[in-house]
Amino acid sequence: MSNKFLFLSLSFFLCVFAPLLRAEPLSPADLKSLLSRIREKRAAAPQVQADFQEDKNVKMLNKPIATSGKIWFQSPNKFRREAKGTLPSITVSDGQQLWIYYPKFHSAEHYSLGKRSPLDAGISAITASLNLENVEATYHISATKEADGYQLQLLPRNPSMKRFLQTFAIKMNGDLQVIRTEMVQPNGDRIVTTYSNESRVPIPASTFEFTPPAGTDVTTPLGK
Amino acid sequence: MALHSTIAQLVTRRRGLVWSTVAVICAAAIGVLIARMKLDTEVLNLLPGGFESVEGLKVYNRDFVQVRDLTFALVCQPNDVDKLEEFAPEFAQRLREQPWCRRVLAGVPIETPDGVRDLQSIALPLFLNLEPAAFDQTLALLQPAKIQERLHRLHEEIEAGSPRPQIELGLDPLGVIGPALKPFASNASIEEDQPLTSPDRTMRVFLTVTNQPGIGAFDCQKLMKDVQAFQKKAHEGWEGGPLEILVTGRSAYVAEISLSMRHDIVITLLGSILLVSGVFYAGFRRWLPLLGMGISLLLCCLVALAAGLLIFHELNMVTVGFCAILIGLGVDFAVLVFGRYQQARDDGADHPAAVGEAVKSLGRAIFFGALTTAVGFLALMLAGSRGFTQLGVLIALGIAFAGIFMLTVFFLFLPRKSPAPGHDWMFTLVKNYVRWAVLHPARMLWISTPLLLLLTAVAFSPRPPILFDVSTHSMEPKRSDAGYALKTIMEKMPTRWEPVIGMVKAENAQQLHDYWQKVEPRWTELQAAGKIKGFSTPAALALSPQRLAGNRQKLQGVDLTAARAALEAALAEEGFSRETFESGFKLLDELKAAADPATRLPDWRETLPQSSGWWFLIDRYFAHDPLLTTGFVTTNEPVATQEQKEMLHRDLPVAGVPMILSGWSFTLTDLVPWSHRQLILISGLMALFDATLLALLYRDWRLWLIQVATLAMAVCAMIASMKLLQIPLNLLNVLAFRLVLAIGVDYGIYVLLVWQKARQLDHDVAGVVKPVILAGLTAICGFGSLGAANNPTLAGLGYACALGLFWSLAATIFFTLPAAAAAEPKSWREESLQPRVKEPENV
C-alpha cells in the first residue's frame, strides 16, 4: 500500500512539475544577453580559482583516469593547474609558454604557445570554459536554460580547433559560475571536469610563473 | 667589269633573273622555317655555359620532380582569416579532384593520421639503416623488460596529465620508430623550411604536383589553361571578402614566357617597322623605296632565320628580338644607299648610273659597317650563352645579308624615272650645319666637348652609382602573374628565401650513403659555427646496403616472439587498449621477416603511398634517378654578395664528395664576375678591334684619334645616362656595350670616309650626314622598340643600346665632324667649301 502510494505521488509530482524542470533552448537574443552578462561578471573579477575533479576517458586506456586538484585562472590566458594524488602534476601557462611539471618523475615539458600547434587549440578550449571571452568568434554556441542554471554547447568553428575538439559543453549555475565541462575529442577521448569552491579573490602574479626545480629533466616535445 | 657595274647591270637590265633568284631564296627560307621551326623556351639557356652552378640549375630543373610543381596561394583580407582556415580544406579537396593534379600538400603531414601512418610504413628500412650504436641502443628497447618498463612509465605519465605519451604511443607503440625516424625528422620539418601559412594567417599555401606529360612550352600552356579555368571557379563556397587565388611554379612561368613571345614578336616588330618607316619617310618622302626597304629587310630576316635554324636546329626565345634589331640595323644601309642614289639622280645621273654610283661610293663603307656590326654581334658568342650565341650569329648573318640585299635587291624597287626633286628642308638644314661647323668648329666644340666630358666624369664618378641588379627578379617577365604570385608569397613569408642547393650524384646506393654521411657532419659544424642558418639533406633516406645487411644480422639475435609476448602482457597489465597497439604488432611481424636474410626488404619508395604528403619532402631530395640527390643549405641572409658565395664555395664541399653548388640566387651571384668580365674585357676587345680597324681604314692619326675619343665619350655618356635615369645593368644587358661600340663606330666611318674624299665639303658631307642621322634614328627606334618587350632581358638590352646609339650619333654629329674640321687649316676648310659644280638643294 505504502509503495503504491509512493508511486502515485511521484507520478503526480512528475506530471505537474516536469514542464518546469525541462531544459529550454535560449533564443539568439537571450543567448546574446547571457553571454553579455557573463562578460560583465568576468570583467568585474577577471580572476578565478576553484577546486576541480576530472574524469578522463582515453581511448588508449581501458579505464578512465580520475584526477583532482585546484585551478587558478587570470584573464585573458594565464592559468595554473595543480593535480594531486599519487601522480601529481603542475601545469602553468603565462599565455606564451606552457610548463607541465611532474614532481614524481623530476621532469618537465615545455611548450611554446601561439605557433598554431594542436596544443594551442587545447589551451584555448581550457581557457574558454574559464574565461568565455569572445567565445562566439571561436565556437558556434547554443544554450539551454535549466532549472539550476544554463547549459552551453560549443562547436568549434575553425578546422584547427575541430582537429582537437569535437564538442564542448559547459554547465553554469544561476550565478553564472562554471560547475561542469565536458569535452569530446575527435579521437573519442572524453574529459568531464567538475568545479567547486569557486573564488574570485585576487591571485598573485607569481602563481603564473614557473621555473623548473634544479635537477629537473626538461623536454620540448613539440620542438622550440 | 667592275663589281658596281655588274650589280648595276644585273638590277637594271636582268631584273627577271634577279626577281627569280629572290623568289627561289624566299621559297627555300620559308620551306626551312615551316619544316624546322623549333623554339627553345628554356630561360636557363640564356645563362652562360661552363658554370657549374648554371649546369646544376639545369639538372635540377630537368631531373627533379619539382619541375612539375605548382604552388597555389589563397590570400584573404585580415578580417577573413578564420574563414580562410575553414575554406582551405575545401580548396585542397577541389585541387585533388582536378584531373591535372597528382598530389596536394595542404598541411603538415605529421599532423594528420594519414601522415603518421605513412611514416610508420617506411620505418622498417630506416630503422635497419641506423648507425650501429644507435641501432644497438634501439634494439635493446625490444627486450621484454624494457617493453614493460616503457609502457608502465608512459601509462604513469598519461595519468599525470602529460599529452606527450599519447602522441608518442600513437606514432610509435614499441619505441623503435622514433629513433629510426630521428635522422629523417631532424631535417624533415616542412613547416619550418616552407611554412604553409603566413604569420598573419591571411595567406595559405598549397603545394601540388601535376601530371603534365612533358615540360615543354606547349605542355605548360595546356596545363596552365586548365589551371586558369580552375582558378576562375575555385572561389565557389567562399563567403568572405576579396580572395586572391595565386599560382606560381616553373610551368606557370614557362607558359607565360612562351605566350609572351608572341606579344614580344608582334609588338617589337610592328613598333620597329612603324618607327623606322616613319623616320625613312620623313627623310625622303618616297613610298616605293620604303616598300623596297621593308621587303628587303623581311628577306634578310627570313634568310637569316632559316640559316639560324639550319645551324642550331632550334632557336632560343631571346632570338625573337632579332628581327627588331635587324630592321633597326639593316635600315641604315638602305638609308645610306638610297641617299647616295638619290643624290646621284639629282646630280643628273640616270637610273643604272645612279645605282652604279651608290654601290661604288658606299660599297666599301657598307662592307666595313656590316663587318664591325657583325663582329660586335658575333662577340656575343664569347658570352658562352646558347641563347645569346644564337642571337649573335643570327644578327651577324642578317647584317651580312642586309649588306648584300641593300646593294642588290633594294634597287629593284627604285623607279627608273625619278620624280622631280622638291625642296629638302632636312638636307638644307644639315648642309647649313655642316657648313657652319666646318667654318667655326671651335664654337661647336666648346658646347659639345664640355658636355661630353661632364658626362664622362659622371660615368667615372662613384656617385651616383650605377645600378647592377643580379636578383632573380631581374630575369622575370615584366608583367607576370606567376611572378606576382611568387613575390606575394615571399613578401608574406619574409623568413623564407631560396636555399643553396648542393647536388650529389653517386654510382650506387652505398656510395650515395657514404657521400651524405661525410657531408652531414661538415654542414653541422658550419651551422654550429653560425656560418649557415640551417640545412637539410637526404642522408636519412640514402640507405646503406652494407649497414642494412649488418643490422639484419643483429636482428637475428633478438627474440621477437618474447618481445611480442611482453607487449601483450604489458598492455594487459597497464590497461592499454590492444587496438591502439596494432601497428606495434605489425612492426614486430615485419622485423621478424626482416631478420630472415632470404626475405627481400621492402623498398620504402614502394611502401610509401603515392598520395602521401611526405613525397613533397622526399621529391625535394631525390631526382627521377634515385642516385641523383640534393641537400639544401639555408644561409643567414639571402645570397647576394661575392663574400657569401666564396664562403659557400669554400666551406660547403667536402673532400672526396663530388658536389655541385647551385640555386637561382647562388648562380646569379656566381655569374657576377662573368658579367663584369663581359662588360670590361669583351667590350675592351671590341674597342681594340674598332681602333685597329679605324687605323687601317683612315691611315690618318688625327681622324683616328678623333673617332676613338668620340667612341670613348659616347660609351661614357651612355653609362652616365644609365646612372642618371636609374636604368639598372643586369647580367645580360652588359652585352649592350660591345654592340654600341660595334654599331656606333659605323656613323663615324660613314662620315669620315666621305670627309676624306669630299670634292665639295658641305655638299658631300651633308649628303652622308643626313642619311647617318636617319640611320641613327632608325637604329635607336629599332632598339628602343625592344623596350616594349615583356621579356626583361630583351627590354633591358633595347634600352641600353638605344641610349648608347643616341650618344654615338650625337657625338658623331656634334663632336667628330667639328673636330675633323678643327684638325684642318682654316684656309683648307674655306677652299673645300667652294662649289665645283652646281648642286641641287636636295638629296
At residue A67 the predicted structure's pLDDT band, cuts being 50, 70 and 90, is very high
- Cα dihedral B413, B416, B422, B427 in deg (nearest 10): 60
In CATH terms, the fold of domain B1-37+286-416 is Multidrug efflux transporter AcrB transmembrane fold (1.20.1640)
Question: What was the pLDDT predicted at B842?
Answer: 46
More confident residue, B185 or B171: B171
| Cα A132 from Cα A141, distance rounded (Å) | 11
- Cα dihedral B139, B142, B145, B147 in deg (nearest 10): 120
- Parallel, antiparallel, or unpaired for β B315-316 and B39-40? parallel
At residue A20 the predicted structure's pLDDT band, cuts being 50, 70 and 90, is very low
B283-313: pLDDT as tens digits: 777 888 888 888 898 899 889 989 988 988 8
Which of A87, A119, A157 is the closest to B156 by Cβ? A87
Q: A190 pairs with which residues across the strands?
A: A57, A184
Question: What was the pLDDT predicted at A10?
Answer: 46
> In Å, what is the CA distance from B70 to each residue of B223, B247, B251, B317, B485?
10, 7, 7, 23, 11
Alpha helices in B198-287 (DSSP H): 217-233, 250-284
Q: Is the pLDDT of residue A21 over 50?
A: no
Contact in structure between B764 and B758 (CB atoms under 8 Å)? yes
Mutation for A interface: B76, B85, B205, most A CBs within 10 A: B85
ipTM higher than threshold 0.85: no
B 780-819 residues with CB < 8 A to A: none
Mean pLDDT over residues A135-164, rounded? 84
Most confident of B214-223, B230-239, B462-471: B230-239
Q: B437: which residues sit within 8 A by CB, 6+ positions away?
A: B444, B817, B818, B821
Q: Is B162 at the interface with chain A, CB within 8 A?
A: yes
Q: Is the pLDDT of residue A17 over 50?
A: no
Contact B82 A58 (CB under 8 A): no
Contact in structure between B196 and B205 (CB atoms under 8 Å)? yes
At residue B21 the predicted structure's pLDDT band, cuts being 50, 70 and 90, is very high
| Cα B288 from Cα B270, distance rounded (Å) | 19
Which of A63, A119, A163 is the closest to B575 by Cβ? A63
First to last CA, chain B: 28
| Cα B218 from Cα B227, distance rounded (Å) | 14
CATH of domain B425-470+671-843: 1.20.1640.10
A115 → chain B, closest CA residue: B199
At residue B450 the predicted structure's pLDDT band, cuts being 50, 70 and 90, is very high
Compute the mean pLDDT over every residue in chain B, rounded to the nearest whole number: 84
Question: What was the pLDDT predicted at A22?
Answer: 52
Contact in structure between A83 and A68 (CB atoms under 8 Å)? yes
What predicted TM-score, i.e. pTM, was given to this entire model? Answer: 0.70
> In Å, what is the CA distance from B603 to each residue of A117, B121, B189?
32, 10, 23
Closest by CA to B305, choosing from B62, B25, B680, is B25
B486-516: pLDDT as tens digits: 888 888 876 556 788 899 999 999 999 999 9
Mean pLDDT over residues B689-713, rounded? 88
Contact B576 A91 (CB under 8 A): no
Computed over its alpha carbons, how large is the radius of gyration of chain B? 36
- The HSE-up count of residue B493 (CA atoms within 13 Å, CB side) is 22
Compute the mean pLDDT over every residue in chain A, rounded to the nearest whole number: 82
At residue A19 the predicted structure's pLDDT band, cuts being 50, 70 and 90, is very low
Per domain, the residue ranges of chain A are 23-219
Q: Is the pLDDT of residue B204 over 60?
A: yes
Query: In chain B, which residues fall in CATH 3.30.70?
Result: 499-538+622-662
| Cα B388 from Cα B391, distance rounded (Å) | 5
Q: Is the pLDDT of residue B158 over 60?
A: yes
Q: By three-state DSSP, how is residue A171 classified?
A: strand
- Locate cell 658636355: which residue? B451
Tell me the CATH number of domain B499-538+622-662, given options 3.30.70, 3.40.50, 3.40.1130, 1.20.1280. Answer: 3.30.70
Question: What was the pLDDT predicted at B815?
Answer: 94
Mutation for A interface: B159, B182, B190, B201, most A CBs within 10 A: B159
The residue type at B5: S
A83 → chain B, closest CA residue: B160
Q: Cβ contacts (< 8 Å) between B109 and chain A: which residues?
A: none
Contact B89 A119 (CB under 8 A): no
Second CATH level (architecture) for the domain A23-219:
Clam (2.50)
A87-117: pLDDT as tens digits: 899 999 988 888 999 998 899 998 888 766 6
Q: Is the pLDDT of residue B827 over 80?
A: no
Contact A122 B85 (CB under 8 A): no
Q: From the CA of A160, how many Å to the nearest CA of chain B?
A: 8
Q: Cβ contacts (< 8 Å) between B574 and chain A: which residues?
A: 61
Question: What was the pLDDT predicted at B378?
Answer: 85
Query: In chain B, which residues fall in CATH 1.20.1640.10?
Result: 1-37+286-416, 425-470+671-843
| CA dihedral sign of residues B63, B67, B68, B73 | positive
Q: Is the pLDDT of residue B74 over 80?
A: yes
Question: What was the pLDDT predicted at B495?
Answer: 57
B159 → chain A, closest CA residue: A65
Q: Is the pLDDT of residue B652 over 70?
A: yes
| Cα A26 from Cα A34, distance rounded (Å) | 9
Which element (helix H / strand E) includes B70? strand B69-75
